[in-house]
Amino acid sequence: MAVGGFILGLGFGLIWSPSIPNLVYGANSYGVNVGISLSEAISMSFWFLWAGIVLFPVGLAILVYGIGAQKSSPETASAETASAETGI
């Protein structure tokens, strides 16, 4: 279940992360040398979005499978015998 939750969170983060092209454009407008062009940022953002779209349902499926696979533990019977309780 933890793996499913991690993949689900990673997919969600990749889909709803701040827009990389907007961050690059803002840094360039303030004169910060980012080292990445706007077209590269758009391409990277596109691939992150698609990776998130793939990872989100995979993580959700793993999480749901993990929840459904859990079984309630059966009640364990006492290991003591009747003779031990009565002292015979």
Task: State the pLDDT confidence band at 83, using cuts at 50, 70 and 90.
Answer: low
If we measure between CA atoms, which residue out of 9, 22, 20, 21 comes closest to residue 52?
9
Nearest-angstrom CA–CA distance, 70 and 50: 31
Residue-wise pLDDT for 44-80, tens only, equals 888 888 888 999 999 999 988 888 887 655 666 666 6
Nearest-angstrom CA–CA distance, 59 and 68: 14
